[in-house]
């Protein structure tokens, strides 16, 4: 989750605040869990929003001249001291959902079973392996789709889900994508079958299995975001602030108790190390797409600074692809830092170090003026959203695969202006 782009729903959000400040809103989450608070800050532009992000709060909604953020008790203290906070209220159990209602989501064991089934039923196309182990020893499952024994002989797209524990829909998106591509290949889909004959697809559906398991443990959701690193005084490192390009910059906390804690050093966590090592050793990966939730956005570097990508043709490829994909899923395409500064994320590193064209999707739900939006439902929108969210994001995935031999084709019509030369790509 990075932020919401809606700009016309202020009244709805204010209504949510008003409702939550009633007696029901004063019930606290039980002491066995972290108490989270929704906070509203006055912040009219990206510079002000970056100051909020620097408090360690995760910004969940950007609305005209204010933002809504989510944070812990410590974050709330910092927010109050900052002078930027307008109001806050604690999240109540009522705002969270129960996994029993969401049985179509897959926990780690169920995900493992699905991936094993997919691989076992499709030898010669699907391979299940692992890019490494999580802190608690869970395999970071990798699905490789390749009709060639040597998957590295073909251009590839690397899809990831589940960097943030509570963003379960991102895991379902990645899992369904793997199943869909296999099904369509086998049924001779005239588009998918030739595509898979010439491309490699890498999918890691769940980068943060420890956090995801913790989030659904003991029967209810916990709004957990980070991995499960024991920092002594608190748990967890924000894996999407732990990557090693611009690590330690803005929008990433130095405090272990914060939800955006960057970790003690770049790539301090086994999960980010595994992703790094995989990308470092797979030169055929030309595009990365990392799924998050929520707010319906397509984001591209930079996140760590306000400037555009310096290489004009690289900037134009990201921009053009993001705008094209937005036509299919209806999301808002933009440079990540247009929302606020955040450092140490996956896409800044993948592009910054390897020059890989890299996107973050913040999946559904978005926010719309005609919807009675409950902010607590953003991360737990219910299983009914799995299928429609997947459907609208199939075309962007196919588009990336089609262009993974040479993403610069999307700006070929303006290639002269950007110094494009096919022979050096």
Q: How many residues bind Zn ion, per CB under 5 A?
A: 4
**How is residue 419 written in tokens?**
């110094």
Helix residue spans in 68-219 (DSSP H): 73-82, 108-121, 168-186, 192-196, 209-215
**How is residue 312 written in tokens?**
């004009």
Nearer to Zn ion, 53 or 196 (CB): 53
Nearer to Zn ion, 302 or 361 (CB): 361
Nearer to Zn ion, 1 or 252 (CB): 1
Please identify, among the stretches 158-166, 258-266, 338-346, 363-371, the one whose residues bind Zn ion according to the rule CB under 5 A: 158-166
Contact 99, 31 (CB under 8 A): no
**Separation between Cα atoms, residue 324 and residue 352, nearest integer Å:** 23
Nearer to Zn ion, 2 or 199 (CB): 2
**How is residue 6 written in tokens?**
């809606």
Given 136, 271, 362, 402, the catalytic residue: 362
User: Looking up tokens 């299995």, which residue turns up?
Assistant: 209
What is the nearest approach in angstroms of Zn ion to the Cβ of residue 121? 31
Please identify, among the stretches 203-211, 276-284, 288-296, 340-348, the one whose residues bind Zn ion according to the rule CB under 5 A: 288-296
Identify the burial level of 180 via C-beta atoms within 10 angstroms of its C-beta, where 0-12 means exposed, 13-18 middle and 19 or more buried.
Answer: middle
Residue 1 binds to Zn ion (criterion: CB under 5 A): yes
**Separation between Cα atoms, residue 191 and residue 148, nearest integer Å:** 18
Please identify, among the stretches 7-15, 80-88, 286-294, 417-425, the one whose residues bind Zn ion according to the rule CB under 5 A: 286-294
What is the nearest approach in angstroms of Zn ion to the Cβ of residue 265? 21
Nearer to Zn ion, 1 or 131 (CB): 1
**Separation between Cα atoms, residue 425 and residue 406, nearest integer Å:** 7
Contact 140, 207 (CB under 8 A): yes
Residue 175 binds to Zn ion (criterion: CB under 5 A): no
**Separation between Cα atoms, residue 29 and residue 31, nearest integer Å:** 6
Nearer to Zn ion, 171 or 274 (CB): 171
What is the nearest approach in angstroms of Zn ion to the Cβ of residue 303? 12
Residue 292 binds to Zn ion (criterion: CB under 5 A): yes
Residue 169 binds to Zn ion (criterion: CB under 5 A): no
**How is residue 403 written in tokens?**
């262009």
Residue 168 binds to Zn ion (criterion: CB under 5 A): no
Please identify, among the stretches 42-50, 146-154, 287-295, 349-357, the one whose residues bind Zn ion according to the rule CB under 5 A: 287-295
Contact 129, 144 (CB under 8 A): yes
Please identify, among the stretches 33-41, 156-164, 184-192, 368-376, the one whose residues bind Zn ion according to the rule CB under 5 A: 156-164
Nearer to Zn ion, 338 or 405 (CB): 338
What is the nearest approach in angstroms of Zn ion to the Cβ of residue 163? 6
Q: Which element (helix H / strand E) includes 368?
A: none
Taking CB atoms, the residue at the shortest distance from Zn ion is: 292
Active site residue 362: yes
What is the nearest approach in angstroms of Zn ion to the Cβ of residue 145? 25
Interacting residue with Zn ion among 37, 40, 164, 199 (CB under 5 A): 164
Taking the mean position of all CA atoms in its chain, how far away is CA 374? 20
**Separation between Cα atoms, residue 302 and residue 338, nearest integer Å:** 9
Binding mask 190-229 for Zn ion (x = CB under 5 A): ----------------------------------------
Measured at the CA of 179, the angle between CA 177 and CA 183, to 5 degrees, comes to 115
User: Looking up tokens 């889909």, which residue turns up?
Assistant: 189
Contact 362, 161 (CB under 8 A): no
Residues that bind Zn ion (CB under 5 A): 1, 164, 167, 292
Enumerate the active-site residues. 362
């Amino acid at each position: 989750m990075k932020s919401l782009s809606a700009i016309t729903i202020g009244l709805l959000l204010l209504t949510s605040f008003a409702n939550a400040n009633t007696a029901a809103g004063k019930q606290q989450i039980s002491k066995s869990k972290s108490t989270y608070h929704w906070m509203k800050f006055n912040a009219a532009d990206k510079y002000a929003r970056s100051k909020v992000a620097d408090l360690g709060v995760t910004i969940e909604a950007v609305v005209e001249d204010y933002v809504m953020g989510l944070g812990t008790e410590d974050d709330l203290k910092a927010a109050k001291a900052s002078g930027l906070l307008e109001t806050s209220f604690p999240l109540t159990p009522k705002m969270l959902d129960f996994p029993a209602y969401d049985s179509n989501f897959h926990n780690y064991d169920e995900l493992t079973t699905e991936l094993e089934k997919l691989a076992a039923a499709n030898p010669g196309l699907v391979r299940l392996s692992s890019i490494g182990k999580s802190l608690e020893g869970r395999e970071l499952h990798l699905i490789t789709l390749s009709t060639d024994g040597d998957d590295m002989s073909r251009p590839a797209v690397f899809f990831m889900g589940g960097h943030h524990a509570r963003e379960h829909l991102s895991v379902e998106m990645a899992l369904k994508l793997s199943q869909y591509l296999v099904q369509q290949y086998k049924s001779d889909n005239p588009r998918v079958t030739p595509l898979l004959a010439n491309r490699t697809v890498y999918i890691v559906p769940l980068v943060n299995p420890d956090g995801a398991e913790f989030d659904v443990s003991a029967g209810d959701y916990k709004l957990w975001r980070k991995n499960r690193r024991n920092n002594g005084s608190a748990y967890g490192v924000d894996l999407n602030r732990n990557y090693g390009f611009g690590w330690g910059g803005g929008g990433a906390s130095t405090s272990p108790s914060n939800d955006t804690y960057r970790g003690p050093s770049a790539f301090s966590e086994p999960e980010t190390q595994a992703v790094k090592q995989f990308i470092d050793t797979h030169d055929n990966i030309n595009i990365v797409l990392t799924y998050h939730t929520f707010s319906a956005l397509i984001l591209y570097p930079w996140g760590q600074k306000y400037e555009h990508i310096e290489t004009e043709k690289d900037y134009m490829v990201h921009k053009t692809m993001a705008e094209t994909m937005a036509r299919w899923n209806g999301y808002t395409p933009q440079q990540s830092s247009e929302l606020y500064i955040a450092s140490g994320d996956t896409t800044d590193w993948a592009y910054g170090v390897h020059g890989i064209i890299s996107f973050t999707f913040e999946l559904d739900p978005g926010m719309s003026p005609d919807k009675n939006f409950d902010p607590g439902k953003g991360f737990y929108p219910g299983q009914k959203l799995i299928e429609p969210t997947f459907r609208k994001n199939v075309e962007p995935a196919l588009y990336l695969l089609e262009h993974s031999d040479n993403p610069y084709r999307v700006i070929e019509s303006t290639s002269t202006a950007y110094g494009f030369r096919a022979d050096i790509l």
